[in-house]
Amino acid sequence: MNKNDNEGSFVSHLVELRQRLINSFIFLFLFFVICYFFSEYIYGFLVEPYAQAVKDDGSQRRLIFTALQETFLTYLKVSFFASFFITSPFILIQIWKFIAPGLYKHEKLAIMPYLISTPILFFLGGILVYYLVMPLAIKFFLSFESSGLTT
C-alpha cells in the first residue's frame, strides 16, 4: 500500500463522515421544524408535572415570562431539545454506520446487544424522568419556596 492509497482511504473516510453528519443535521433540523409547530403542545406536556404539583399543593402559583422574547426563546429551546430527543437514535445509527465497516465480525456481535438496548433504554429513561423524577424534584424544590413573605 503506498502513500496515495492511505490518503485516498483517509479522504474517503472524511467524505463518509461528512455525509453521516449532514444526514444527522438534516434529520435534526427537519424534526426541529416539526417540533416548533407543536412547541406549545410539547411545552404544555413538559409543564404538566409542575401544574399537577401546584394543583396538589393548593397554592396559586403560575409560571411567568419576564421578557418580551422569552416565550419565543422558550419554544425554540423546547423544539430543539424535543427534536434532539427524538432524533438521538437516528444519530446513533449514523455513528454506527460510520464505525461498523471498520470492525471485525466478532466485534460487531459483541456490540450488538448494546446497540439494540441503547434506544430502548434511552426512551425508557425519558419516561422514568418524566413520570417519576420530575414530580419528585418539583415537589422538593417547591418545598423551599417561602409562602407569604415579601421583601
For 30-43, what is each residue's pLDDT tens digit?
Answer: 999 999 999 999 99
pLDDT attached to residue 119: 86
Q: What is the count of structural domains for the chain?
A: 1
**Cβ-based neighbour number of residue 1 at 10 Å:** 6
- What is the average pLDDT across 124-151? 84
* DSSP per-residue codes, 5-39: HHHHHHHHHHHHHHHHHHHHHHHHHHHHHHHHHTH
| Distance from the first to the final alpha carbon of the chain | 77
pLDDT attached to residue 55: 82
Q: Pull the grid cell for residue 29.
A: 433540523
CB proximity list for 85: less than 8 A, separation 6 or greater: 126
pLDDT attached to residue 65: 83
pLDDT attached to residue 62: 78
Percent of the chain with pLDDT over 90: 56
For 52-75, what is each residue's pLDDT tens digit?
Answer: 888 877 777 778 888 889 999 999
**Cβ-based neighbour number of residue 78 at 10 Å:** 22
pLDDT attached to residue 61: 76
Q: Are 101 and 85 in contact (CB under 8 A)?
A: no
- What is the average pLDDT across 112-136? 91
Question: Is residue 62 included in any domain, yes or no?
Answer: yes
For 8-31, what is each residue's pLDDT tens digit?
Answer: 688 888 999 999 999 999 999 999
Where does residue 136 rank: exposed (0-12), middle (13-18), buried (19+ CB within 10 A)? exposed
Question: Is residue 147 included in any domain, yes or no?
Answer: no
Question: Is residue 89 included in any domain, yes or no?
Answer: yes
Question: Is residue 73 included in any domain, yes or no?
Answer: yes
Range of the domain at 104: 3-142
Question: Is residue 150 included in any domain, yes or no?
Answer: no
Of 3 and 81, the structure prediction assigns the larger pLDDT to 81
pLDDT attached to residue 107: 92
Question: Is residue 148 included in any domain, yes or no?
Answer: no
pLDDT band with cut points at 50, 70 and 90 for residue 77? very high
